[in-house]
Amino acid sequence: MNNDGFDSHKYLSYIGVSYDQGMPSLESLTNILLAHMQVIPFENLDVVMKKTISMKLNDVVDKLITMKRGGYCFEHNILLDVALRSLGYSVTPMLARVLWNKTDIPSPQHVVLVVSIPEESDNTDGEGGVGVEYLVDAAFGGLGSVGKHMSASDSLNCAYTVSL
């Protein structure tokens, strides 16, 4: 995702987080996600009203920050994706399926983020260790998640189950 022109200071100020530009950490990620979810509501009014919803970053920022509206999963996670990247996190957006009270397997209609955070290394050379990946979701119908650890042996091409 291209973050040209994204103002991370405006975003962080809006959600009420002060961020030290140090190495990305799980603690900072959790604080950012919780603040994001407390300030920017889940809202699917435009979906219900069958309005066209732009996924362009400027439009998402305008709606969720400038106009102080909420959004649905794609809007929230687009905004969070760009914010986290601008703060030095490694982020991979992924399509997901929601299987809540369903017996059939629907097409992917949700988006989540896989965020990799470098592990502290015991090496004396100062190099960070291999990244630990976390499944992050700022907008699962108002519920959010962070810290769902995916083991290093897992692949991004397989299914993950998150229980709430």
Q: Which of 110, 122, 125, 149 is catalytic?
A: 110
137 is catalytic: yes
Distances (CA, A) of 127 to 88, 120, 124, 131: 16, 8, 8, 12
Catalytic-role residue among 36, 76, 81, 137: 137
Parallel/antiparallel/unpaired status of strands 131-140 and 143-150: antiparallel
Q: In the chain, what is the greatest distance between 2 CA atoms, to the nearest angstrom?
A: 57
User: Which run of H or E residues covers position 143?
Assistant: strand 143-150
Please pick, among 36, 73, 76, 81, the residue that the annotation labels catalytic.
Answer: 73
**110 in catalytic set:** yes
Cite the active site residues. Answer: 73, 110, 137
